Structure 1
Amino acid sequence: MMENKPGAVGRAYTSPQVNPYGRVDEEVVTVAERELRRKKRLKCFMYVAAFVVFQTGIILIFALTVMKVRTPKFRVRSASFDTETFNITTSNTNPSFHIKMFAELGIKNPNFGRYKYQDSSIEFYYMNIKVGEASIPRARAKARSTRKFNVTVEFSSVNVPRTLAAEFAGSTVISLRSQSRLRGKVELMKIMKKNKSTNMSCTMEINTSSRQLRNLSCR
């Protein structure tokens, strides 16, 4: 005869409850985490792409502005004359001139590095006959600035044929043309040097009555 153990009466066997929605909740969380990671990766990629585009733009602007080497401009800016040596003969028999001019020249350097040029000269012509010349010593023009300096030139019609000298006989205007060529280097950031030459080509007129320079044009 079997005996009932104490406490066994009324005890029922209960199995653990299973949540039928647990797996669904885990899948929802996993999908959300994956979507969050995907958005983070996409945002990171966008930041990297924006940074690359920005850097490329900066490099492009730098290359087109700072690192681009432009040709300096060489010009006759103005001039005055020595009145004591301003000798003009406009007679038809023996026209001649002997004039001393003090010219201000300018070298405009548009680059972000200095322009160092070599010794050169400037020549002046009347009717394609050279009537004057001056030396230009080597020097340098600072970055983004204009170097100004003066030269003294003596014009003489000694080598001008009488047939050509007759052009200014009885006139108050002597037309001249100046030309020069500077050879030098543009130095950028002390790491890059590039050879750069610049040419001068100017036309001008000397008014013999007012003893002034007029109609000065350079290109």
Structure 2
Amino acid sequence: MIPPTGGAMGPTTAAVKPPSSLRLRCALISCGIVTILAAAALLAVALTVFRVREPVMTMNSISLDDPPPSPELRTTTLAVVADVSVRNPNAASLVYDATETSVYYRSRRVGEARGPPGTAPARRTVRMNVTVGVAAGELIGDPAFLGDVAAGAVAVATATRVRGRVAVLGGMVRRRVVLEMNCTASISVADMAIRDQSCQQRVWLR
């Protein structure tokens, strides 16, 4: 005798449905995985595109503004011009305060000037000139200075400092930046030209 297969003659086999709690658990796990992947992607972007990088300062030149035609230095005020560029490699603007430039002779500061504050746009380079007045007459009493003049060249040093800040991710990440450019050069007494310029840059991210 063949057993009944269903219909009116016997019970039917119904599809087994998973419990609702199991479906909820699967949905929560899926949401968790998506959230983790999204967080990982955002972290990767934050560590690459929005990572705060060190700006780069370049001393394009040190020059004398309208140097006098005579090599006589006793009554001369020298206008030393520092032509500086700052490149901002970040995805956000670099906002900097007033720049500071000092001129030194044999480790003694003989002139100082401040440039205006400003902004270096994202991935752009800004150029700034700072003019420092140096009264050469103040150096006449230094025997070393008179010796340098007699030798035909006066060695000077300049220090330019730029303080600023970069804010990325809508201000969630803020870093303060300090750029410093230290240079040495020689002023030729014969033609008042700048020679043998050498510079070094230092950067601090805080």
TM-score between both structures, scaled by the size of structure 2: 0.66
The letter of the residue matching 2:118 is: A
Which whole-Å deviations, capped at 9, do the CAs of 1:166-210 have from their partners, x for residues lacking one?
Answer: 451333433222223333221325434625131323223134146
The letter of the residue matching 2:159 is: Q
Q: Secondary structure at the match of 2:148?
A: coil
Residue matched to 2:130: 151
Residue matched to 1:82: 65
Counterpart-to-counterpart distance in 1, 2:69 and 2:108: 20
Aligned residue runs from structure 1 range 195-214, under 5 A: 195-208=175-188, 209=190, 211-214=193-196
* Aligned sequence identity (%): 21
Task: Give 1 or 2 for the bigger CA radius of gyration.
Answer: 1
Counting matched residue pairs gives 183
Deviation, structure 1 residue 165: 0.8
Aligned CA distance change for structure 1 residues 132 and 85 (closer, same or farther; 3 Å):
farther
Q: 2:115 aligns with which of 133, 136, 140?
A: 136
> What is the RMSD of the two structures over their aligned residues, measured on CA atoms?
3.8
Counterpart-to-counterpart distance in 1, 2:53 and 2:45: 14
Counterpart-to-counterpart distance in 2, 1:63 and 1:138: 28
Aligned CA distance change for structure 1 residues 147 and 203 (closer, same or farther; 3 Å):
same
Deviates further, 190-199 or 137-146? 190-199
Residue matched to 1:116: 95
Deviation, structure 1 residue 213: 4.1
Q: 1:163 aligns with which of 131, 143, 149?
A: 143
Q: Could you tell me which runs of 5 or more consecutive residues in structure 1 were left unpaired when the two chains were aligned.
A: 1-15, 20-25, 31-44
**Runs ≥4 residues deviating over 4 A:** 51-54
Deviation, structure 1 residue 57: 4.5
Q: Could you tell me which runs of 5 or more consecutive residues in structure 2 were left unpaired when the two chains were aligned.
A: 5-12, 17-28, 202-206
Counterpart-to-counterpart distance in 2, 1:182 and 1:205: 21
